[in-house]
Chains A and B, each alone.
Chain A
Amino acid sequence: MAKTGEKSGGSGKKGLKRKAAPEEPQEAAVVEDGTTESGVQPPKAAAFPPGFSISEIKNKQRRHLMFTRWKQQQRKEKLAAKKKLKKEREALGDKAPPKPIPKTIDNQRVFDETIVDPNDEEVAYDEATDEFASYFNRQTSPKILITTSDRPHGRTVRLCEQLSTVIPNSHVYYRRGLALKKIIPQCISRDFTDLIVINEDRKTPNGLILSHLPNGPTAHFKMSSVRLRKEIKRRGKDPTEHIPEIILNNFTTRLGHSVGRMFASLFPHNPQFIGRQVATFHNQRDYIFFRFHRYIFKSEKKVGIQELGPRFTLKLRSLQKGTFDSKYGEYEWVHKPREMDTSRRKFHL
Chain B
Amino acid sequence: MAATAARWNHVWVGTDTGILKGVNLQRKQAANFMASGQPRREEAVSALCWSAGGETQILVGCADGTVKHFSTEEGRFQGQRHCPGGEGTFRGLAQVDGTLITCVDSGILRVWQDNDKEASPDPLLELRVGPGVCRMRQDPARPNIVATGGKENALKVWDLQGSEEPVFRAKNVRNDWLDLRVPIWDQDIQFLPESQKLVTCTGYHQVRVYDPASPQRRPVLEATYGEYPLTAMTLTPGGNSVIVGNTHGQLAEIDLRQGRDNWEDEPQEPQEPKKIPSEDTETDELWASLEAAAKRKFLTSSDLEQTQDALQTRRRKRKRPGSTNS
> B-contacting residues of A (Cβ < 8 Å)?
113-114, 122-123, 125-126, 129, 253-255, 321, 327-334, 336, 338-339, 342
Contact A254:B285 (CB < 8 A) given known A330-B295, A339-B267: yes
| Residues A331 and B291 in contact, CB atoms below 8 Å apart | no
| Residues B291 and A334 in contact, CB atoms below 8 Å apart | no
| Residues A338 and B291 in contact, CB atoms below 8 Å apart | no
| Residues B288 and A331 in contact, CB atoms below 8 Å apart | no
Chain A residues with CB under 8 A of B258: none
Residue picked from B16, B228, B288, most chain A C-beta under 10 Å? B288
Contact A331:B41 (CB < 8 A) given known A114-B287, A254-B288: no
**Bound complex: CA of A197 vs CA of B229, how far in Å?**
25
**Bound complex: CA of A123 vs CA of B284, how far in Å?**
8
Residue of B nearest to A320 (CB): B247
Chain B residues with CB under 8 A of A126: 16-17, 39, 284
Give 21 CB contacts A-B under 8 Å: A113-B287, A114-B288, A114-B291, A125-B17, A125-B38, A125-B39, A126-B284, A129-B41, A328-B203, A328-B229, A328-B247, A330-B247, A330-B295, A331-B248, A331-B249, A332-B283, A333-B292, A334-B248, A336-B249, A339-B265, A339-B267
Tell me if B209 counts as interface (CB < 8 A to partner A).
Answer: no
Chain B residues with CB under 8 A of A331: 247-249, 295
| Residues B287 and A329 in contact, CB atoms below 8 Å apart | no
Interface of B is mostly: loop
Shortest distance from the beta carbon of B281 to any chain A beta carbon, whole Å: 12
| Residues B291 and A113 in contact, CB atoms below 8 Å apart | yes
**Bound complex: CA of A331 vs CA of B32, how far in Å?**
25
Shortest distance from the beta carbon of B166 to any chain A beta carbon, whole Å: 27
Residue of A nearest to B269 (CB): A339
Shortest distance from the beta carbon of B113 to any chain A beta carbon, whole Å: 34
Tell me if B270 counts as interface (CB < 8 A to partner A).
Answer: yes
| Residues A255 and B288 in contact, CB atoms below 8 Å apart | yes
Nearest 7 pairs of A and B residues by beta carbon: A338-B267, A330-B247, A126-B284, A339-B267, A113-B287, A125-B39, A129-B41
Residue of B nearest to A321 (CB): B283
Tell me if B231 counts as interface (CB < 8 A to partner A).
Answer: yes
- For chain B, the count of residues having a C-beta within 8 Å of the partner chain is 27
| Residues A336 and B247 in contact, CB atoms below 8 Å apart | no
Given contacts A113-B287, A321-B283, 17 further A-B contacts (CB under 8 A): A114-B287, A114-B288, A122-B17, A122-B32, A123-B284, A126-B17, A129-B17, A253-B288, A255-B285, A255-B288, A329-B247, A330-B247, A330-B295, A331-B249, A333-B288, A338-B267, A339-B265
Chain B residues with CB under 8 A of A333: 288, 292
Tell me if B134 counts as interface (CB < 8 A to partner A).
Answer: no
Chain B residues with CB under 8 A of A254: 285, 287-288
Chain B residues with CB under 8 A of A123: 284
Shortest distance from the beta carbon of B250 to any chain A beta carbon, whole Å: 9
Residue of A nearest to B32 (CB): A122
**Bound complex: CA of A253 vs CA of B288, how far in Å?**
9
**Bound complex: CA of A280 vs CA of B12, how far in Å?**
41
Residues 256-280 (chain B) with a chain A CB within 8 angstroms: 265, 267-268, 270
Tell me if B19 counts as interface (CB < 8 A to partner A).
Answer: yes
Residue of B nearest to A126 (CB): B284
**Bound complex: CA of A107 vs CA of B161, how far in Å?**
65
Chain A residues with CB under 8 A of B249: 331, 334, 336
Residue of A nearest to B286 (CB): A122
**Bound complex: CA of A338 vs CA of B267, how far in Å?**
6
Chain B residues with CB under 8 A of A338: 267
- Contact indicator per residue, chain B 213-255, by CB within 8 Å of chain A (1) or not (0): 0000000000000001101000000000000000111000000
| Residues A122 and B39 in contact, CB atoms below 8 Å apart | yes
Chain B residues with CB under 8 A of A327: 228
Chain A residues with CB under 8 A of B203: 328
- Contact indicator per residue, chain B 278-313, by CB within 8 Å of chain A (1) or not (0): 000001110111011001000000000000000000
**Bound complex: CA of A336 vs CA of B270, how far in Å?**
12
**Bound complex: CA of A125 vs CA of B283, how far in Å?**
13
**Bound complex: CA of A339 vs CA of B32, how far in Å?**
30
**Bound complex: CA of A197 vs CA of B80, how far in Å?**
46
**Bound complex: CA of A255 vs CA of B249, how far in Å?**
15
**Bound complex: CA of A332 vs CA of B32, how far in Å?**
22
**Bound complex: CA of A336 vs CA of B250, how far in Å?**
10
**Bound complex: CA of A329 vs CA of B248, how far in Å?**
9
**Bound complex: CA of A332 vs CA of B203, how far in Å?**
17
Shortest distance from the beta carbon of A122 to any chain B beta carbon, whole Å: 6
Chain A residues with CB under 8 A of B32: 122
Chain B residues with CB under 8 A of A321: 283
**Bound complex: CA of A308 vs CA of B52, how far in Å?**
66
Contact A332:B285 (CB < 8 A) given known A114-B291, A122-B17, A129-B41: yes
Shortest distance from the beta carbon of A217 to any chain B beta carbon, whole Å: 11
Chain A residues with CB under 8 A of B284: 122-123, 126
Chain B residues with CB under 8 A of A336: 249, 267
Shortest distance from the beta carbon of A256 to any chain B beta carbon, whole Å: 10
Chain A residues with CB under 8 A of B283: 321, 332
Residue of B nearest to A343 (CB): B270
Shortest distance from the beta carbon of B151 to any chain A beta carbon, whole Å: 10
Chain B residues with CB under 8 A of A342: 268, 270
Residues 16-52 (chain B) with a chain A CB within 8 angstroms: 16-17, 19, 32, 38-39, 41
Chain A residues with CB under 8 A of B228: 327
Residue of A nearest to B249 (CB): A334
Chain B residues with CB under 8 A of A255: 285, 288
